Amino acid sequence: MVLPAWQDDEAATAVPTIGTGPELPFCETCRSDQYLIIEEFVPPRLQPRTGLTSAEASYSCLKCGQFSGHEVPSDWEPPGWFWYA
């Protein structure tokens, strides 16, 4: 990413908005998703009578050791993730 001379790297870091619905996996301590290990991913599923359920992910940060898990956007999936055939 090329930044203007007046803008530093920290200001250009995209930080997900908190508390506005499903969030992308992100380490609040490190302010990055670069060191995340996805521990578990449950894709969205269609349930009888209740409809579509949300996707969920739990993950830990290799850099600081934080662990978190929450609802993620239904179109998100971990890099390299696939259904077993």
Q: What is the pLDDT of residues 5-55, one digit of tens each?
A: 444 444 445 555 555 678 999 999 999 999 999 999 999 988 888 888 899
Residue 25 lies in a domain: no
Q: Residue 52 has what pLDDT?
A: 86
Residue 63 lies in a domain: yes
Higher local confidence (pLDDT), 78 or 19: 78
Q: What is the dihedral of CA 26, 31, 35, 39, to 10 degrees?
A: -30
Residue 60 lies in a domain: yes
Query: How many domains is the chain partitioned into structurally?
Result: 1
Q: Residue 2 has what pLDDT?
A: 41
Residue 40 lies in a domain: yes
Confidence of residue 56 (pLDDT cuts 50, 70, 90): very high
Structural domain span for residue 69: 35-76
Of the ranges 47-51, 56-60, 69-73, which one carries the lowest mean pLDDT score? 47-51
Residue with tokens 């600081």: 64
Task: Kindly list the distances between the CA atom of residue 4 and the CA atoms of 11, 44, 63, 78, in Å, as whole numbers in the listed order.
Answer: 11, 40, 29, 32
pTM of the predicted structure, to 2 decimals: 0.69
Residue 70 lies in a domain: yes
